[in-house]
A = this chain, B = another copy of it.
C-alpha cells in the first residue's frame, strides 16, 4: 500500500489508485457518533466505490438467509443502512464532468486530519483541451452539532477562463450492497428543490425510521450566473444546478451546509422543516465558525484520550487512528446506540452490538471519557433486558440471554453454534457492570439497573447449567467459548469460570445492597421477585461449578476434550497454511488445537486478581503457542498478560499484530470498512499492557514499561474526576495530575499521592 503516507496526525493518500479506492474510502471515514461517512468523493465517480452514509440507530430488519433452519433462529437480521447521500456535488468544467474514473488528473491527495477531524482532497483536473484546474475540497461532520455536515469545494482555473457548473445534491435513492434479497430498504416521503435550499425525506421500510436531509449553499469567488432546481428519480434526488464563470487564475468555492435529522431525535412530522432551518442557520453561522466549533470539540477529546509515541511514526499514526475512529463511532450521549463492528465505515456484519463492546470498547471509554459515556453502554443493555428475557424463553431457558448480535435487543445472528451456544456473552455484560463500578466508583447504576441484569442473567445460568450427580459438580454443556474455532464443546473453562464468578458477584452485590442500600435492595427484591432460596441457588451453582484443569500441565483446560486433540504448535505449521481460516477446511480447523482468540486467557484478564502470576505464566506458555490470533480481538489480551508476566518483547510483538490492522490492511478486508471494536484492544495493549493499568481494591494502579522500539510514550486517563498524564521514557515513568483533586494511586505497587501540576517520577 504505497499510497499511504506516515504522519503523526494525518492519514494521507498520495496519488490515486482505482483498485485501492474502497480501501481509502474506509480509512478516510469520519463521524460524530450520530452519523458517519466513508471517504467517498463528492463529485461523480463512475468507478468502483462503496458509497456509505450512515445515520445512527437507523436500521432495517433484513429477512434472514439460512441454509438449514434451526428452531430458535431469528427471522430477521438488523442491518446498518446506507442512507441519503448528502455529500454529493456534481461538477462540470466547460460542460465536461469531473469524474476521477474517466477524467485526466494529476497530483491527487486525500487526507484525513484526525486532530481537527476534517477530510481534505486535492487534485489537478485536466480538461480534454489540456486546460488545468486545481480542485480542493474540505469537509467535516460536526462534533459540536451532531446533525450538521459542511463541505467546501473549490475550483481554481489555472490555464484559461472557464464555465463551471456545480450541482450540490441529496440522493435518497440508495441501496445496501449487503441486502439478502436485493431489496430496497427505503421509501420516499417528500422532497423539495429550490434555488436556495433543497431537502429530501426518506422512511425505512418495516422499521419506519424517518430521515430528512436538507442543504443550503453559498458561492464564493465568482458570480452565480444561473441556478436551476434539480428534481429527479421521482423526487428522491434533489439539488440545484449553479452556473458560474471564472477567469484564468481565479477560484470559485461552493460551501454546502447540510443538516441530517432523524426521527430518533426529532418528531417525524415536519422534520424536513427542522432540517431546512438548521441548514439555513448553518449557512448564516458560516464555515469558519462551524469549523472552529468542531475543532474545539476534538481538542477536548484529544486532551482526554491522546497517546503519544516518540520514535515510531507508524505506531503514533496507528494509535491515533484508533482513538479517532472510536470517537467517531460512539459519543456516548444516547444509550440507544452502541459500537458497531464497522462503525460508520461500512455495512458488513449488520447489527450494531457484539460482546466486543463490553469486553474491549468499555475499557477505552472508561479510560478516556467522563463516566456517563461508558455508563450509556451499560444502560443500553439494561434497556434490552426484556428482549434478552424473551430471547432466553425462545430457547426454552429462564432468565435473560443477551443476543450475540443485535441492534434493538433482538438476536440477529443465525448460526446455531454461535447464536445458541456462544452464551459467555452474558458474562461480558455482567463483568462490564463490575468494571464500570470499580473504575468509576459509581455504584448508582449497579444498585438501580445493574442488579436487574445480574439477577436475570443468573437465572439464565441456573436453567442452562446442569448438575451432574455422578460427578457431583455443575456443568455447562454445548457451548462455544470465545475461541470460535471450537464449537459445541462441554465445560469451556472460560464460560464456566465466568459464570461461577457472575453468580457469586450477583449474590455479593445483593448482600452489599442489603446493608449499604437497604431501600434499593428492597425495591430490587420486589421488582425481581428474588427469594433467599434463589440467591442460595446462585451461590450453590457457583460453588459446585466444574472447572476443567490439567494438574500435570498446571493449566486450566480450555474445554473437556481439549487435550484429546492432536497437540501441535503454530510454529510447527507450514507458513502457507496461515491464516487457517483461508487455507483449512472448517472440519480441520474445528478438530485442531489451534485457537482463534483469547479464551482461557480472556478469563485470566477479566478475573485478573484471582490468579497468581505463576498460573498466568503457565497458561500463557501453554496457550499462546497454540493461538493463531485470527480475530483482531485476540492479540491485545495476550499482550496484556505477556506484559504482566514480564514478557515485554512478547507483549510488544503481540501489540504490533493489531496496532495498524486497518492502515496496513493486514487482513485484506479493510475495503469493507474498519475494524472499529478491535481498535479498543490496541489502546488496552498500551494502557493496560505496557502501562500496567489496573484497578486494585478500588485504587488506580500503574506499572509501566517502555517497549525498546520506542523512545518514549505517554497516555492520558480520565479517572474519577481527574485528568492524568502518564509519560514513560528511558528514565522511568512520570505521572502528572493535569486536573482534579489530589488522589493516591499505586505506582509500581507503591502508594504515591498525586497533586495537580506536580509530576511524580519513578524509575
Contacts and interface: CB of A to CB of B under 8 A. Distances in A.
Contacts of A471: 564
A527 to B, nearest CB: 28
A582 B70 CA distance: 10
Tell me the interface secondary structure of chain A in the complex.
Answer: loop
Nearest to A421: B587
Contacts of A561: 477, 490, 560-561
A468 interface: yes
B71 A590 contact: no
Interface string A339-354: 0000000000000000
A432 to B, nearest CB: 24
A690 interface: no
A68 interface: yes
A65 B180 CA distance: 11
Contacts of A574: none
Given A466-B566, A564-B490, A587 B72 contact: yes
B64 A587 contact: no
Interface stretch (A366-374, A412-420, A715-723): A412-420
A613 interface: no
Interface in A262-294: none
Nearest to A395: B585
A734 interface: no
A478 interface: yes
A307 B679 CA distance: 71
A73 B505 CA distance: 43
Nearest to A394: B585
A467 to B, nearest CB: 8
Interface in A427-475: 466, 468, 470-471, 475
B414 A67 contact: yes
A415 B487 contact: no
Given A66-B66, A561-B490, A587 B468 contact: no
A250 interface: no
A668 B671 CA distance: 48
A438 B78 CA distance: 58
A749 interface: no
A586 interface: yes
A62 to B, nearest CB: 12
A563 interface: yes
A395 B587 contact: yes
A611 interface: no
A588 interface: yes
A228 interface: no
Contacts of A468: 564
Given A488-B488, A490-B561, A586 B67 contact: no
A466 B71 CA distance: 34
22 contacts: A65-B67, A66-B66, A70-B586, A71-B584, A395-B588, A396-B587, A396-B588, A397-B588, A416-B587, A417-B417, A420-B585, A420-B587, A421-B587, A466-B565, A466-B591, A477-B591, A478-B587, A478-B591, A487-B488, A490-B564, A560-B560, A560-B561
Enumerate the 7 nearest inter-chain pairs by beta-carbon distance, A residue then B residue, closest first: A72-B585, A420-B587, A70-B586, A66-B67, A396-B588, A395-B585, A488-B488
Given A67-B67, A67-B414, A73-B586, 18 more contacts: A65-B66, A65-B67, A71-B586, A71-B589, A72-B587, A395-B587, A395-B588, A416-B590, A417-B417, A420-B587, A420-B590, A477-B564, A477-B565, A477-B591, A478-B591, A487-B488, A488-B489, A488-B590
